[in-house]
Amino acid sequence: MKFTTILVGSLSLATGISAAPSPADVDQAKASKYISELGKVYQANVLQTVKSNPKTKCTPDKLIRRKEWGSMAKKEQLSYVNAVICLSKTPARTSLDVAPGARSRYDDFIVLHHLKTPFVHGNGRFLGFHRAFVHLYETALREECGYTGGQPYWDWTKSYKDPRTASIFDGSPYSLSGNGKYVPNRAPITSYIGKGLFLDRLPGTGGGCVESGPFTADKFTINLGPFGYNATEDPSVPGDGLGYNPRCLKRDFSTYYSQFSRPTNVTHVLDAADLEEFNANMDHPVRGIHGTGHFQVGGIMYDTFASPSDPAFFAHHAQLDRIWAIWQGQNASARTNQLWGTLTAGNEPPSADVTADTPVELGVLHADYKLGEILSTIDGPHCYIYE
């Protein structure tokens, strides 16, 4: 190692080209280190609490371990992918009166997200709802499709320069498939992103159907949607997005939106003093790490309502959930049960603040929860840790 460094150093002297990292890279490396230090504080808190807290059913032997995609073994990646395919082939529980297009257990998640979107985004239910939603998906993969691991997360800070370099999207059998086929000459897609704001999403590097990996058109079909954006695929959307509309999974990775997934963008969120500030930074409609995670993948991920149609949704939301858990873990007693926000998106129209008793409806996925029951990763129905 040392020898290589010296060699590179003398080479750059000779050629006059500096091999030193740019100041921006140094900042990002420092931010990554800071995130991993806060991550260790969070993990230590979880392990300590599950060992010593007799009030919770979550014990060390029950903790489900959620790993970053790139640090999973190949056989774990394959078993996760197979479980997702299995869920997409298991019959739906949603009634056809509710969603004529629902065909599978995977679709049950899309229908629920679609129906609840206005009540669980940009408001006080956002974080809790998505924590429960990802957990119920993980539970279905484990209980109905033989998966034994935890829901993987996609740490997009590792690939902010170009999401196509993330191993989770390398297009191999050990990925969630890769980019869509490049479609030239596309116009921006306008979408309503809340608070009276429209976003013109710039075309990225793909645009068509994914070309390789487990979720190509021959193996995986999107049945529902689109709904929440100017339909790029088929202007006549059946049944308000709940009708049967079988088609391929499209992606359109964007190196513009991925620039908002830098480590410094995460430290900015993690440094929030309270949940109001945390939400404001994480869920900023244009620059927030929530939206830009969706925007950089593109395709159906850009459709707020139908976005869980892309299996990448759950890996992105696990990463957001992880960041919330790390934030909570810095001062668990003060932060775990902290709430912020009202019942309506962007508080329009103005509504009451959420409380621990606010219902969170989960349709066919689960009996309703109270918001206060689902705020912890190691209490109530939850028992998992981010590694």
122 and 345 Cβ atoms separated by less than 8 Å: yes
Q: Residue 330 CB, nearest distance to ligand NAG (Å)? A: 7
Smallest separation, CB 288 to ligand NAG (Å): 9
Based on CB atoms, which residue is closest to ligand NAG, 7 or 334?
334
The overall longest dimension of the chain from CA atoms, in Å, is 73
Query: Which residue ranges make up the site for ligand NAG (CB under 6 A)?
Result: 190-192, 229-230, 259-260, 262, 264-265, 268, 331, 334
Rounded-to-integer distance, Cα 345 and Cα 43, Å: 32
Distance set, CA 356 to CA 339, 341, 370 (Å): 8, 12, 6
Nearer to ligand NAG, 10 or 198 (CB): 198
The residue (of 171 and 298) whose beta carbon lies closer to ligand NAG is 298
253-279 residues labelled b (16+ CB within 10 A) or e (exposed) = bbbebbebbbbbbbbbbbebeebeebb
Q: How many helices (H) and strands (E) does the chain have?
A: 10, 8
Q: Are 210 and 189 in contact (CB under 8 A)?
A: no
CB of 46 to ligand NAG, least distance (A): 16
Q: Name which of 10 and 190 has its Cβ closer to ligand NAG.
A: 190
Q: Which is nearer to ligand NAG, 148 or 230 (CB)?
A: 230
Residues 6+ away with beta carbon under 8 Å from 139? none
Residue 338 dihedral angles phi and psi, to the nearest 5° = -70, 135
- Cβ proximity to ligand NAG, 27 vs 361, nearer residue: 27
Please spell the DSSP secondary structure of 289-318, one letter per residue.
Answer: HHHHHHHHH-GGGG-TTTGGGSTHHHHHHH
Q: What's the min distance (Å) between Cβ of 163 and ligand NAG? A: 14
> How near is the Cβ of 339 to ligand NAG at its closest, in Å?
14
* Shortest distance in whole angstroms from residue 157 CB to ligand NAG: 11
